[in-house]
């Protein structure tokens, strides 16, 4: 098994892979804190957070608050070349979203749980729950 504490040597895709889970857990925790318990409503609202266009917009909101190290991990993910882009997002949005996920992967693997919560709150402060 790979040493997941060796995040400094992971490529952007590996960081985004774990970062996707980190963001998903934050989204689910947030939605449950709003006392939403119906699965259809949970899934519909989760899309407001996890689709590439939403993550791209969320990144733009937090970019000025990021440290140099956080930005470097974002860029590692953003600059990763992937074979496909989803139909629901532009190539730029998808690359930004991958960078966003990679940065959250770095934060998780480096044990920065408070920073994850802080950036998640800033990034999604204006998302409306329906």
pLDDT (tens digit per residue) in 51-90: 999 999 999 999 999 999 999 999 999 998 776 766 778 8
**What is the pLDDT, as a whole number, of residue 1?**
39
User: Does pLDDT of 113 surpass 80?
Assistant: yes
DSSP string for 12-40: HHHHHHHHHHHHHHHHHHHHHHTT---HH
CA dist 34 and 55 (Å) reads 21
**Would residue 3 show up in a list of annotated catalytic residues for this protein?**
no
Q: What is the chain's mean pLDDT, rounded?
A: 92
Global pTM? 0.92
Which one of 3, 6, 20, 38 is the catalytic residue?
20
Which residue's structure tokens are 């937090």? 62
Return the exposure string of 61-79: e unless at least 16 CB atoms fall within 10 Å of the residue's CB, then b.
ebeeebeeebeebbebbbe
DSSP state of 65: G
Give φ, ψ of 108 to 5 degrees.
Answer: -65, -50
- CA distances, 72 to each of 7, 12, 35, 64, 66 (Å): 13, 10, 36, 13, 10
Q: Which of 100, 125, 108 is nearest to 7 (CA)?
A: 108
Range name among 48-52, 83-87, 125-129 with the lowest pLDDT average: 83-87
């Amino acid at each position: 098994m790979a040493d997941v504490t060796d995040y400094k040597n992971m490529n952007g895709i590996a960081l985004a892979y774990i970062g996707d889970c980190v963001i998903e857990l934050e989204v689910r925790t947030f939605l449950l804190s709003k006392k939403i318990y119906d699965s259809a409503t949970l899934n519909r609202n989760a899309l407001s957070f996890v689709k590439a266009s939403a993550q791209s917009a969320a990144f733009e909101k937090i970019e000025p608050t990021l440290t140099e190290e956080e930005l470097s991990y974002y860029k590692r993910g953003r600059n990763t070349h992937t074979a496909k882009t989803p139909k629901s997002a532009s190539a730029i949005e998808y690359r930004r979203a991958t960078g966003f996920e990679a940065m959250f992967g770095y934060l998780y693997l480096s044990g920065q749980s408070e920073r994850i919560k802080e950036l998640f709150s800033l990034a999604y402060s204006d998302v409306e729950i329906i």
